[in-house]
Structure 1
Amino acid sequence: MLKDLSVAAVLPASDINRAREFYRDKLGLEPDNPDAGDNLMYRCGNGTAFLLYQTSNAGTAKNTQMGWVTDDLDAEMADLRSRGVVFEDYDLPGLKTENGVATMPDGERGGWFLDSEGNILSLNTMPASNT
């Protein structure tokens, strides 16, 4: 059953070397396959992973493509900002950010940024469970 399987994101990169530098220098991530030429596999917490692959389609999506969940959004954003990551500001129906942070009606908070390839990435908190 799919619900029991791990899932991994796949992101496009028009310049895989530029992407490698961004993910290393700005996000502090190293690929599991550093010698690969056209794709990079990154492992994150709880067995999750994502793949960057070389393609000219990078940066064409206008939606969030991947996100990380954190218990301390402010600390994570401060760390990323110190590395040069710039968070986006939005003023859309149902989504307005202040200093790069949106607060949803359910209490979830999030921030969005672009990687070197134009992919939209996010950091989010999860709302407190009522259980």
Structure 2
Amino acid sequence: MSEDSRTDDRLTLTRAVPRLPALDLERARRFYSECLGLDPVDRRPGGLLYRIGDTEFVVFQSTGASPGTFTQMALEVENLEAAVSELRRRGVVFEEVDSPGFRTENGIAEIEGNYPSKGARGERAAWFHDSEGNLLGMGQPLH
């Protein structure tokens, strides 16, 4: 293969779009609308497309349930305590974690360090499950 032909075959990734499974798509739509204030920007049979800023994610009809044992998507907020308080008011239950080196207090954990490119010294984070068992994180970078 010549050098010129290899450049034509290179993989070019343009962006990533998370996909979250839902056993009940209508129940998931209500959760994202009522709890997070998000409405789909587009729909197709078996799928809902959401947009937050420049990021998109899809909730799709699935025959399998999410294990909900790891963070599947994270949302950034400017004021984590206010966001947690508001979501609790809307019926969202936050996870409490108490393990070596990692502990939440009132649903919020202080996490040391962050990715250098984010320019933050750490972050505060909280986790909750959506109506379909997907584990979502919410974080606030600490500058």
TM-score range, shorter chain: 0.7 to 0.9
What does residue 18 of structure 1 align with? 27
Q: Is 1:115 aligned to 2:122, yes or no?
A: no
What does residue 103 of structure 2 align with? 96
Give the secondary structure class of the aligned counterpart of 1:125: strand
Q: Is 1:40 aligned to 2:40, yes or no?
A: no
Total equivalences in the alignment? 124
Return the letter of the residue paired with 2:33.
Answer: R
Q: Quote how far apart the aligned CAs of 1:56 are.
A: 2.2
Which aligned runs of 4 or more in structure 1 are off by greater than 3 angstroms?
none
What does residue 49 of structure 1 align with? 56
- Rounded Cα–Cα distance in structure 2 between residues aligned with 1:25 and 1:87: 16
- Rounded Cα–Cα distance in structure 1 between residues aligned with 2:78 and 2:42: 29
State whether residues 68 and 129 of structure 2, in contact with CA within 8 Å, keep that contact through their aligned partners in structure 1. no
Return the letter of the residue paired with 1:90.
Answer: V
What does residue 63 of structure 1 align with? 70
Q: Quote how far apart the aligned CAs of 1:61 are.
A: 4.1
What does residue 142 of structure 2 align with? 127
Give the secondary structure class of the aligned counterpart of 1:66: strand
- Rounded Cα–Cα distance in structure 2 between residues aligned with 1:7 and 1:69: 17
- Rounded Cα–Cα distance in structure 2 between residues aligned with 1:74 and 1:22: 20
| Gap runs ≥5 in structure 2 | 1-11, 114-121
CA RMSD of aligned residues (A): 1.5
1:17-72 deviation line (CA, Å, top 9, x unaligned): 110111111111100125x3311000002x10100011122222410000111221
TM-score scaled by length of structure 2: 0.80
State whether residues 6 and 48 of structure 1, in contact with CA within 8 Å, keep that contact through their aligned partners in structure 2. no
TM-score scaled by length of structure 1: 0.87
Identical aligned residues as a percent = 44
